[in-house]
A and B are shown apart, each in its own frame.
Chain A
Amino acid sequence: MSTEGADAGDAGDAEDGFIELDGVEKVFDVRRRARGGAGAGAGGEARGGARRGIGRLRREKHQVRAVDGISFRVPRGEMVGYIGPNGAGKSTTIKMLTGILTPSGGRLSVAGIDPSRERTRLARHIGVVFGQRTTLWWDLPLIDSYRLMHRMYRIPDARFRANLERCVELLDLAELLDVPVRQLSLGQRMRGDIAAALLHDPAILYLDEPTIGLDVISKAKVRDFLRNLNAERGTTVLLTTHDLTDIEQLCKRVMVIDHGRLLYDGGLAGLHEIGRSERTLVVDLEQELPPIELPGARPVRTEGPRQWLAFPATESAAPLVARIAADYPLVDLSVREPDIETVIAKMYVDRSAV
């Protein structure tokens, strides 16, 4: 039994990367019934019994490379966005970083700890929020879940009280503490979950889609809180999301993965450049007019008095807005960020074209 590679000596380089991944892979075995060749279906059923029997017994072992050789380092105190389309491997990566999934290959270390081997020890250093799942106790008031965290992580009393007070204030939880979790709205529950992940002062916080399903105001609250947490406490944050605005407002650095591979690791501006992505200006005019023609903008769609104009995401919207306001009977206007899927889809196409 020697599946593990290097044993000793990996605590030494924990300094330069707080979170370190080195060629990490995760392969899932998926069993599914094999399809009976080309003529499967109703026609196939009518054929010889022996053949059908074999077809029924044979199960194809099929492998999904959810994470396919990812390497990166995150220094202490950084806030990093981890994005990619559905099924890219983001949640799988986070699960490996918490130790609830063992990698199939490669090495990883978090705060100098091998997550899958010392899951419980690591738990004291990390906080995790899975947007789609809750760690809160469903039938009991929010405060009861926090009391459990107090015991579970053996948080000193004074420390617990101070952290709880801080979270309650910044996440606006005072009114909610006595409400059973099942009665909380999605946004309230998410804030409750974020607080629960932070009561034991973790040095690292993983957030898997913390803004999923939240309205604009709740998203803003969550973002403000995270920004403040990172700035004041120096908490290292790894964040996955499908909302590019989260990344824009919070992270200097963004990593993009697709099909389990790291496609991009750098600043957000660079991502837009590579993706040649465009933002969209939605313009409401007083009346129906022919498509607006301006340099640096491309008319995309017209629907009655409403028009959509695309412009490069790396450019500022201001000059364009000024021109439109000056030349057209403008009623209302808004800017839409490119959605992450489009940016990545373009990146992916570009890459395979090279």
Chain B
Amino acid sequence: MRLYIAVAAGGFRRYATYRVATFAGVFTNTVFGYIMAYTYMALWDQRPRLGGYDLPEALTYVWLGQALLATCAMMGGGFESELIERIRTGDVAVDLYRPADLQLWWLAVDLGRAAFHLLGRGIVPMVLGSFVFELALPADPLTWLAFLVAVTLGVVVSFAIRFLVALSAFWLMDGAGAAQMALLAGLFFSGMLLPLPVFPGALGEVAAVLPWSSLLQIPADVLLGKHTGWDLAAAYAFQAGWAVALLAAGRVLQSVATRRVVVQGG
């Protein structure tokens, strides 16, 4: 356990060393936040209460999306490119003889990264957005706490998806292709472009039960107070269920991949 805490701390420190990247990220998030906020304002002007959100809620949703974009790695940008590279070059064999579990190791790295991104790239855009727009931020600290739990679960789900994607590099020549597909799926199905309830009919219903809704849609709804009581528990259970299922799938794939490396040499 202490190992993985140390690994997570390393993941945090490592992203903390990229100062320029962090600054550039905050800048991009803020600019996109403004663009999307004005787009949403135009949209909500035409269709008030679209998807069940009023305008302050919709704007809060926009800025949350920017704040969590890096944290939940909705557009990738976490450990996966590194793991894909290690698989491609065969360096992953070196990881295997160490007395540490591959999945837990990378999960710890990614949690460390997410913690840094939440602090370093989440808070500033949110604050800058709240200066200009009227947001529906909750006053109750418990709601914020509930939100943090949902974000943490979202990060784990996001990790589990990206771990599966990265492991595909054992079989696919070009792991980057799979990562790109996952990125597109994540961007759309997390609700990054528009809240999922806005999508009509089957598309919205399907999107709501896919794992990506854990990344932004659920944490945002928790912060907006749309899930309380048993409903909140159900939302957590949904996230945790996907986390467990996807992590388990990752375990299976990892042991198949390990066997392949160990028998076939990669």
A residues whose Cβ falls under 8 Å from a Cβ of B? 28-29, 92, 95, 98-102, 116, 119-120, 123-124, 126, 128, 130, 133-135, 137, 139-140, 144, 147-148, 151-153, 180
Please indicate the chain A residues that have their CB under 8 angstroms from the CB of B263 in the complex.
101-102
CB within 8 Å for A92 and B3 given contacts A152-B98, A180-B17: no
Please indicate the chain B residues that have their CB under 8 angstroms from the CB of A119 in the complex.
96-97
Please determine whether A133 and B6 come into contact, CB atoms closer than 8 angstroms.
no
Please determine whether A148 and B7 come into contact, CB atoms closer than 8 angstroms.
yes
Q: Mark B223-266, 1 if CB is under 8 A from A, else 0.
A: 00000000000000000000000000000000000000111110
B residues whose Cβ falls under 8 Å from a Cβ of A? 2-3, 6-7, 10, 13-14, 17, 89-91, 93-94, 96-100, 261-265
Please determine whether B6 and A95 come into contact, CB atoms closer than 8 angstroms.
no
For the complex formed, measure the closest distance between the CB of A73 and the CB atoms of chain B, giving whole angstroms. 22
Partner of B10, one of A92, A98, A102, A144: A144
Q: How far is the CA of A124 from the CA of B97 in the complex (A)?
A: 10
Interface centre among B6, B93, B97, B263, by most chain A C-beta atoms within 10 angstroms, is B97
Please determine whether A29 and B13 come into contact, CB atoms closer than 8 angstroms.
no
User: What number of residue pairs across chains A and B have CB atoms under 8 A from each other?
Assistant: 63
Q: How far is the CA of A116 from the CA of B258 in the complex (A)?
A: 12
CB within 8 Å for A29 and B264 given contacts A137-B10, A180-B17: yes
CB within 8 Å for A124 and B99 given contacts A28-B264, A130-B94, A148-B7: yes
Is chain A's binding surface mostly helix, strand, loop or mixed?
Answer: mixed
Please indicate the chain A residues that have their CB under 8 angstroms from the CB of B89 in the complex.
133
Please determine whether B98 and A151 come into contact, CB atoms closer than 8 angstroms.
no
Partner of B3, one of A124, A128, A144, A151: A151
Please indicate the chain B residues that have their CB under 8 angstroms from the CB of A100 in the complex.
93, 96-97, 261-262
Please determine whether A148 and B265 come into contact, CB atoms closer than 8 angstroms.
no
Please determine whether B13 and A101 come into contact, CB atoms closer than 8 angstroms.
no
Please determine whether A133 and B94 come into contact, CB atoms closer than 8 angstroms.
yes
Please determine whether A123 and B98 come into contact, CB atoms closer than 8 angstroms.
yes
For the complex formed, measure the closest distance between the CB of B15 and the CB atoms of chain A, giving whole angstroms. 9
Please determine whether B13 and A140 come into contact, CB atoms closer than 8 angstroms.
yes
Please determine whether B262 and A101 come into contact, CB atoms closer than 8 angstroms.
yes
CB within 8 Å for A120 and B99 given contacts A28-B265, A148-B7: yes
Please determine whether A128 and B7 come into contact, CB atoms closer than 8 angstroms.
no
CB within 8 Å for A99 and B97 given contacts A140-B13, A151-B6, A180-B17: yes
Please indicate the chain A residues that have their CB under 8 angstroms from the CB of B264 in the complex.
28-29
Q: How far is the CA of A346 from the CA of B131 in the complex (A)?
A: 79
Please indicate the chain B residues that have their CB under 8 angstroms from the CB of A137 in the complex.
10, 14
Q: How far is the CA of A67 from the CA of B192 in the complex (A)?
A: 53
Please determine whether B265 and A140 come into contact, CB atoms closer than 8 angstroms.
no
8 intermolecular pairs with C-beta atoms under 8 Å apart: A100-B96, A100-B261, A101-B263, A119-B96, A120-B99, A133-B90, A144-B13, A153-B99
A144, closest chain B residue (CB):
B10
Please determine whether A148 and B13 come into contact, CB atoms closer than 8 angstroms.
no
Please determine whether B97 and A128 come into contact, CB atoms closer than 8 angstroms.
yes
Question: Which 8 residue pairs are nearest across A and B when measured between Cβ atoms?
Answer: A151-B3, A123-B99, A139-B14, A98-B97, A120-B99, A151-B6, A100-B96, A100-B97
Please determine whether B262 and A152 come into contact, CB atoms closer than 8 angstroms.
no
